[in-house]
Amino acid sequence: MYRVAIDVGGTFTDGFIYNEESGEIRITKVPSVPASPEEGILNNLLDAGINMAEVSVFSHGSTVATNALITRTHPRTGGVFTKGFRDVNEIRRAEKPDLWDPYKDVAPPYIPRYDRLEVEERVDYSGSVLTPLNEQEARRVAEIFRKRGMKAVAVCFINSYINPENELKMKKILEEELPGVFICTSKETIAEIFEHERFSTAIINACLAPVIGDYMEKLDIKLREMGYVGDVLILHSGGGVMTATTIRNYAARVGTSGPCAGACAMKYISELCGYPSAIGLDMGGTSADISFMHEHELRTSYQWYVEFGYPILFPAIELVTIGAGGGSIAWIDEGGSLRNGPQSAGADPGPACYPTVGTEPTNTDANLLLGRLGKELIGGAMKMNYEAAREAIEEKIAKPLGMEPVEAALAIIKVANANMCDALRLVSIRRGYDPREVALVAFGGAGPLHGAFLAQEMDIPTVIIPRFPGITSAMGCLLVDIRHDLGRNYLIDTAKVDLSELEKEMQSMEAEAHQRLNAELVPPASREIKRFLDMRYLGQWRSLSIECPAKIDNLENLLELFHEEHEREFAFSDKKQEVEIYGLRIAASGKVMKPHLPKVESTGTLEEAIKEVRPVYFEATNGFTDTTVYEREKIPVGSVITGPAVVEQFDSTTIIPPGLTAKVDEYLNIIIDVRGGGN
């Protein structure tokens, strides 16, 4: 009867429950349990009162992998490398996260040097085996790893992307000598020519495999005890879901699990409202995740990272994440300037106004002082301490800067908004897209508080506030398909391509994709395979991924598409330049049934939705203005709300600034017209 989705965030764990028979939607929100994320999931399910035996689909997004990497809490992992190459992953590309700060170091490698061992072997650039694997050394390495209690090992040999013979021999020896230990090779993980990127992806995959495997096993057992009989699905960074059976072998894919669910939901909601291009603003308690959709397609990145310097090459929805959430801490730097984030009060201790022990001033505290937040959250389940918020802002910000507390609160919000506008420009203007031609979908617990102000700054004409903004990422977990992405290098000038050989390579990858879908019991009728060519001008370092037809008969149309995309991305193209193919990609999807948001009929009047009138501070009115506060659940379809206004609901609060108007559509989304004035 039910489809259940859970999003485990840094502050709250959100639930979205869809009744397949009636179309009814229920939402839940409980505090996260960072030390034991599965407990937050179970608490959410208990709060919902769902009989898990009546659940047909359970899908979720989680921060387990991200946290394990950042905090280095993954189990001890070893690495085996070609002799002379064990430091590739630590040398990296000799880049710094901040070019102008020579003292800012990159995070240490996930496998320390003493656990990176070498063996004698060598494959040349063409794939010829120059030196076979020294099996005596291989077994010596296995013995050392056994004594050290390794839980996982990554095998990373030079040029294995073109011939993995020695890697596979090493893997076989390790499996014989280390039963129960997870072993992965760099070629099996990702067939990438550049060794640092390939090694990095394989190492991260090995580090996370035991973490994700154990987490999914615990969650699976507890859900079975509650009566659930289906697959436990987890969202991966590419915008699809994987089963517990498959995810252990591709654990690096869940590095940005939760935020990608929000991007998928943004796409669905934007298209539902008639907008083919949109920016997603997912602002939660800890961070803000920015995504972009152009003409119904989410931007995809083929190289990303959880920590700078350690790339992951699995395709992922492109996100820009900054430390700007409701719990982001305001502080003053050594030069006396006001800063906002990236530090966050998180769920524990939380903002100063929460009924916990938090003492640091945050965005939530500032919004409370400005009257933009009421004195209760989560339907009255959380009481807000106004005096504690005022004291934190006054002592930590206002007095040092010579401001009044309310003035300091406004400054805190303006700095946070400026940080988010920079991120919005990064995904739009700097990518060659005009923000005046898109809609802004603002969600997350704090997104609707800031969305209209950001749109005014960016000249974005429309803001969409989903029906359940604070639960939107959870809903996104039910809006995605099972998906696998495969890639391999295939370096050749387009003028020299043998189309029959190219077709064989594509078919070989498609066969592997079908094997993975078979393992997840996806029926053939529910499958979709897309092909892509990575192309670049001859001599270039970076490539662009161009979608191609099911059968490639010629390259003329694809070359034209490449030139057009290159012009849009880099404001440059040259049709006289030679173009080469750099790699081949396959995106294989297994379609799953998705919930459809029901249309709602208009009932009641807008006046019946009024909760109160309270003073709210707006810069446009130079102070506090009496503002109507509406209860969102009672606002009828078709209502037009004139700002200033506040719309409160269980999971979020929406601000409509002075001079703007908003309309409630038939799906209960709030559509704000930003072409008016006010700020």
Share of the chain above pLDDT 90, in %: 50
Residue 679 confidence (pLDDT)? 44
Pairing of the two strands 25-31 and 12-19 = antiparallel
- C-alpha to C-alpha distances, 268 to 271, 280, 416, 475, nearest whole angstrom: 5, 11, 27, 10
Residue 678 confidence (pLDDT)? 44
556 and 651 share one domain: no
CA 139 – CA 162 distance, rounded (Å): 25
Mean pLDDT of 624-637: 94
Residue 102 confidence (pLDDT)? 78
Residue 405 has pLDDT above 50, yes or no: yes
Residue 260 has pLDDT above 90, yes or no: no
Mean pLDDT of 142-159: 96
- What CATH number should be reported for the domain holding residue 520? 3.30.1490
Report yes or no on 196 lying in a domain.
yes
Report yes or no on 541 lying in a domain.
yes
Burial of 565 (0-12, 13-18, 19+ CB in 10 A): middle
| 375 in Cβ contact with 387 (< 8 Å) | no
Q: Which residues contact 466 (CB under 8 A, 6 or more apart)?
A: 265, 269, 441, 443, 472, 669
H or E, element range at 292:
strand 288-294
| 282 in Cβ contact with 472 (< 8 Å) | yes
Residues β-bridged to residue 531:
548, 586
Mean pLDDT score of the chain:
89
- C-alpha to C-alpha distances, 352 to 325, 345, 446, nearest whole angstrom: 14, 9, 16
| 588 in Cβ contact with 550 (< 8 Å) | no
35: closest CA among 348, 362, 244? 348
Specify which of 258-262, 339-343, 400-404, 538-542 reaches the highest per-range mean pLDDT: 400-404
191 and 84 share one domain: yes
Residue 677 has pLDDT above 60, yes or no: no
From 193, 227, 254, give the residue that closes a domain: 254
Residue 140 confidence (pLDDT)? 96
Residue 363 confidence (pLDDT)? 93
Return the sign of the alpha-carbon dihedral for residues 33, 37, 42, 45.
Answer: positive
Residue 331 confidence (pLDDT)? 93
Mean pLDDT of 198-218: 92
Burial of 177 (0-12, 13-18, 19+ CB in 10 A): middle
From 590, 621, 642, give the residue that closes a domain: 590
Report yes or no on 369 lying in a domain.
no
Q: Which residues contact 171 (CB under 8 A, 6 or more apart)?
A: 155, 183, 184, 185
DSSP of 524-581, one letter per residue?
GGGEEEEEEEEEEETT-S--EEEEE-SS-S-SHHHHHHHHHHHHHHHS---TTS-EEE
Residue 110 confidence (pLDDT)? 94
Mean pLDDT of 497-506: 90
Specify which of 450-459, 540-549, 668-677 reaches the highest per-range mean pLDDT: 450-459
Cis peptide, bond prior to residue 342, ω within 30 of zero: yes
Mean pLDDT of 460-483: 89
| 92 in Cβ contact with 203 (< 8 Å) | no
Mean pLDDT of 83-95: 91
Mean pLDDT of 139-164: 96
Q: 123 pLDDT band (50/70/90 cuts)? A: very high
User: Phi and psi dihedrals of 29, rounded to 5?
Assistant: -150, 125
- What CATH number should be reported for the domain holding residue 14? 3.30.420.40
498 and 611 share one domain: no
CA 522 – CA 518 distance, rounded (Å): 6
569 and 662 share one domain: no
| 182 in Cβ contact with 151 (< 8 Å) | yes
CA 470 – CA 653 distance, rounded (Å): 9
140 and 239 share one domain: no
User: Which residue type, as a one-letter code, is found at position 567?
Assistant: E
For helices 447-458 and 405-427, the axis angle rounded to 10 degrees is 70
CA 281 to chain centre: 12
Residue 468 has pLDDT above 60, yes or no: yes
Mean pLDDT of 601-610: 88
Report yes or no on 578 lying in a domain.
yes
Mean pLDDT of 157-172: 95
Residues β-bridged to residue 529:
588
Residue 571 has pLDDT above 90, yes or no: no
From 564, 590, 616, give the residue that closes a domain: 590
H or E, element range at 31:
strand 25-31
Residue 348 confidence (pLDDT)? 67
Q: Greater confidence, 85 or 11?
A: 85
Residue 355 confidence (pLDDT)? 79
Share of the chain above pLDDT 70, in %: 98
Per-residue pLDDT tens over the stretch 286-298? 788 899 999 988 8
CA 170 – CA 117 distance, rounded (Å): 12
| 10 in Cβ contact with 286 (< 8 Å) | yes
Q: Residue 574: which domain range?
A: 482-590
- What CATH number should be reported for the domain holding residue 196? 3.40.50
User: Phi and psi dihedrals of 399, rounded to 5?
Assistant: -60, -45
196 and 83 share one domain: yes
Alpha-carbon dihedral angle through residues 25, 31, 32, 34, given to the nearest 10 degrees: 180
| 421 in Cβ contact with 430 (< 8 Å) | no
163 and 195 share one domain: yes
* Number of domains, the chain: 4
Mean pLDDT of 120-147: 95
105 and 145 share one domain: yes
Per-residue pLDDT tens over the stretch 369-402? 999 998 877 666 678 889 999 999 999 999 999 9
- Return the biggest CA–CA distance within the chain: 82
Q: Mean pLDDT lowest for which of 254-258, 422-426, 442-446?
A: 254-258
182 and 90 share one domain: yes
Per-residue pLDDT tens over the stretch 325-358? 888 899 999 889 999 988 888 666 788 888 777 7
Residue 93 confidence (pLDDT)? 87
H or E, element range at 156:
strand 152-156
Residue 380 confidence (pLDDT)? 67
Report yes or no on 575 lying in a domain.
yes
For helices 195-225 and 37-48, the axis angle rounded to 10 degrees is 40
Cis peptide, bond prior to residue 658, ω within 30 of zero: no
At 97, is the secondary structure helix, strand, or coil?
coil
Cis peptide, bond prior to residue 210, ω within 30 of zero: no
507 and 567 share one domain: yes
Specify which of 14-28, 195-209, 426-440, 580-594 reaches the highest per-range mean pLDDT: 195-209
Residue 347 confidence (pLDDT)? 64
CA 314 – CA 252 distance, rounded (Å): 8
Report yes or no on 397 lying in a domain.
no
Place of tokens 């993980």: 189
- The CA-based angle 503-534-193, given to 5 degrees, is 95
640 and 668 share one domain: yes
CA 262 – CA 475 distance, rounded (Å): 8
Mean pLDDT of 287-310: 87
Mean pLDDT of 108-136: 95
At 42, is the secondary structure helix, strand, or coil?
helix
CA 73 – CA 63 distance, rounded (Å): 13
CA 31 – CA 40 distance, rounded (Å): 7
Report yes or no on 8 lying in a domain.
yes
Token pair listed for 433? 């897209």
506 and 572 share one domain: yes
392: closest CA among 322, 450, 324, 345? 345
Residue 565 has pLDDT above 60, yes or no: yes
Report yes or no on 666 lying in a domain.
yes
Rg (CA), the chain: 26
| Number of C-beta neighbours around residue 277 at 10 A | 18
Per-residue pLDDT tens over the stretch 543-559? 898 988 888 888 889 99
